[in-house]
Amino acid sequence: MSLDVLTYLFIGGSFVLYIGIAIWARAGSTKEFYVAGGGVHPVANGMATAADWMSAASFISLAGLVSFIGRDGGAYLMGWTGGYVLLAMLLAPYLRKFGKFTVPDFVGDRYYSNTARVIAVVCTIVISFTYVAGQMRGVGIVFSRYLHVDINTGVIIGMAIVFFYAVLGGMKGITYTQVAQYCVLILAFTVPAFFLSLQITGHVLPQIGLGATLDSGMSVLATLDQLSTDLGFAEYTAGKKSTIDIFCLTAALMAGTAGLPHVIVRFFTVPRVKDARTSAGWALIFIAILYTSVPGVAGFGRVNLIQTINGTDNAGTEYAQMPQWFKNWENAGLLGWHDYNGDGKVQYAAGAAFDGKKGKPAFDGENRGEYGERAVTNAIADPAAVNGAPYANEVYVDRDIMVLANPEIAQLPNWVIALVAAGAVAAALSTAAGLLLVISTAISHDLMKTCINPNISDKQELMYARIAAVVAICIAGYFGINPPGFVAQVVALAFGLASSSVFPVIVMGIFNKRMNKEGAIAGMIVGLGSTMAYMIYFTFMGGAKEDLFLGISTGGFGFVGMILNFIVAYIVSMMTPPPPAEIQEIVENIRVPRGAGSAHAH
């Protein structure tokens, strides 16, 4: 059966499954829309949480990121995995006992202030929209390749699917849809990982494949180091970022993970606090299956990519002899070749061959752009680094295609390629749905019901939630069509915003009875404001790399914003009156592990 037919069957079948589940589990009340009625089994909730948390960044982009930057990519593995442990142990049970199922609800009640609640709503919406942009972009990338449409059309198709099961089903529909999506995405990631590991190393498990000895007598990592240095890249196992940047990035990702609103709400879909802890443990197991496979998938993919493009002798491969996968991804606009030296060979090396993500040549021999000029300069300065070719690099590879292209590069069966496509869509849509629900909940429950008009009925609140979800889907689609970067980069920005705004006020709200509304408000404003200003300046306004604060990248600055949040909040709280006695008593009670109530909407 052809790849196209299999892809349509796998993706189409999964869509039918998701929409069918959403119709079966559609929400009939605000409690079902917001927290799935609070009766989800811990194991099912663990699978749903894993699917919610393992987004397009985890499935599509993480292995590609590690594949291209090597050891420094470990910051994303450590930050995202460690952050989930932090959330499960430090925050989730206490938030669950507090009984408020949204972050703004917790902030508003804990800090006895609608002003604090509104600021938390703003933080939640900013974080969620930044995060969801990466998910919609991921959907567009998958559809552009496998459904033979452009990325923008792919994003629109993804919007339509999410509309059906997020707007109709609410959290109840999303939860059971995410259970199915987890099964699809974990099979789609691990099956080709097993194939790749067995093909390259002789070991079935990708977790132990990186240290395996190849036919050359070297390990996978040693081979990657040699291939990288031969082509002018830094060693694969060498660190390129500064220690402080890696530390800040890891810490920002950890704190950001623990502060993600769409993950926090998952702990209110189970009946008891004990079940919240149990489902957190199951989710960590389900997440670890994918995350422990990522380094191997990244390494195997990098070896295959270089050796396929450049040949085993690194002399390049005639374009006419390039395998079909290369031309498929060229047609999708996520891979590009420009024959700068006119020898008809595809040559991949260090240096930026193309200006921008759409494969537009930086120069064509007469019109030399910034990247092309740099590539020429590097080649002239060190011809040996490019195997005698007069230009440093002729190939543009979008990082986000690595996991998707791996099965094709390795010439795996068509059904494996189709399975990967379905898994990538499942990963992106599962997280997108959770984020869109958080946005609609923040608007309908935390703004409309709590702040603006407390007298609206349950039916009216549900209507506002669905309207907000529709608007959120449209805005998310826009950001998916016009993203600020590749998927993992966009998602990292969201984690930085979460770490600098939401995480500190939750931690202080649970563990510091003296923290008051003035401190929380000041801390959120300073944390979110400083981080957003830093990200906007260096991501969108062309800020020079030399001007980075202590060399900390935009993804890592969320940690600095978090520290500023903590410091400002503490100082302001010490200079202003303490919280009312009843608030301090509530804070004391939520840390006592008994008498937990059920999640509720009011």
pLDDT digits (tens, 9 = 90+) for 394-415: 788 877 777 888 888 888 888 8
Of all helices (H) and strands (E), which one includes residue 300?
helix 294-310
Q: What confidence score (pLDDT) does residue 241 get?
A: 81
Q: What confidence score (pLDDT) does residue 561 get?
A: 92
Mean pLDDT of 519-523: 91
Return the SS3 of 346. strand
Do 93 and 427 form a contact (C-beta atoms < 8 A)?
A: no
Non-local CB neighbours of 372 within 8 Å, separated by 6+ positions: 353, 355, 361, 362, 363
Between residues 181 and 392, the one the model is more confident about: 181
Q: Is the pLDDT of residue 369 over 70?
A: no
Q: What confidence score (pLDDT) does residue 565 get?
A: 93
Q: Which two tokens stand for residue 382?
A: 């060190």
**What gap in Å lies between CA 230 and CA 505, rounded to an integer?**
49
**What is the residue-wise DSSP string for 110-154?**
HTT-HHHHHHHHHHHHHHHHHHHHHHHHHHHHHHHHHS---HHHH
Non-local CB neighbours of 173 within 8 Å, separated by 6+ positions: 21, 22, 23, 25, 26, 27, 165, 166
Mean pLDDT of 221-225: 84
Residues β-bridged to residue 368: 363
Q: Is the pLDDT of residue 510 over 70?
A: yes
Q: Convert the pLDDT of each residue in 142-174 to its tens digit.
A: 777 777 777 788 888 877 777 766 666 556 667
Q: Is the pLDDT of residue 41 over 60?
A: yes
Q: Convert the pLDDT of each residue in 372-382 to its tens digit.
A: 333 333 333 33
Q: Which two tokens stand for residue 282?
A: 């199951």
Distances (CA, A) of 330 to 345, 353, 567: 15, 14, 50
Q: Is the pLDDT of residue 209 over 90?
A: no
Distances (CA, A) of 77 to 38, 222, 233, 287, 483: 31, 21, 22, 11, 23
Confidence of residue 564 (pLDDT cuts 50, 70, 90): very high
**What gap in Å lies between CA 163 and CA 591, rounded to an integer?**
38
Q: What confidence score (pLDDT) does residue 312 get?
A: 67
Q: Is the pLDDT of residue 513 over 80?
A: yes
**What gap in Å lies between CA 304 and CA 196, rounded to an integer?**
9
Confidence of residue 485 (pLDDT cuts 50, 70, 90): low
Q: Where are the alpha helices (DSSP H) in 147-239?
A: 151-162, 168-201, 220-230
* Number of neighbours of residue 156 by Cβ within 10 angstroms: 18
Q: Convert the pLDDT of each residue in 190-202 to its tens digit.
A: 888 888 888 888 8
Please, what is the Cα angle at 236 between 232 and 238, to 5 degrees?
Answer: 100
Strand blocks (E) in 245-348: 317-318, 335-337, 345-346
Q: What confidence score (pLDDT) does residue 181 get?
A: 80
Residues β-bridged to residue 361: 354
50-54, 127-131, 481-485, 592-596: lowest mean pLDDT where? Answer: 592-596
**What is the residue-wise DSSP string for 77-118?**
HHHHHHHHHHIIIIIHHHHHHHTB-SHHHHHHHHTT-HHHHH
Confidence of residue 563 (pLDDT cuts 50, 70, 90): very high
86-100, 337-351, 556-570, 588-602: lowest mean pLDDT where? Answer: 588-602
Which own/partner pairs from 378-386 qualify as long-range (CB within 8 Å, at least 24 positions apart)? 378/232, 378/350, 378/351, 379/351, 382/232, 385/231, 385/232, 385/349, 385/350, 386/231, 386/232, 386/347, 386/349, 386/351
- N- to C-terminal Cα distance for the chain? 53
Confidence of residue 31 (pLDDT cuts 50, 70, 90): low
Between residues 389 and 578, the one the model is more confident about: 578
Phi, psi for residue 218 in degrees, rounded to 5:
-105, 160
Using a pLDDT cut of 90, give the percent of the chain over it.
4
Q: Which two tokens stand for residue 573?
A: 């709280």
Between residues 407 and 435, the one the model is more confident about: 407
**What is the residue-wise DSSP string for 348-415?**
--SS--BSSTT--BSBSSSSB-HHHHHHHHHHHH-GGGGTT-SSS--EEE-GGGHHHHHHHHTT--HH
Q: What confidence score (pLDDT) does residue 600 get?
A: 47
Label residue 328 exposed, middle or buried (CB < 10 Å: 0-12, 13-18, 19+).
middle
Phi, psi for residue 213 in degrees, rounded to 5:
-90, 130
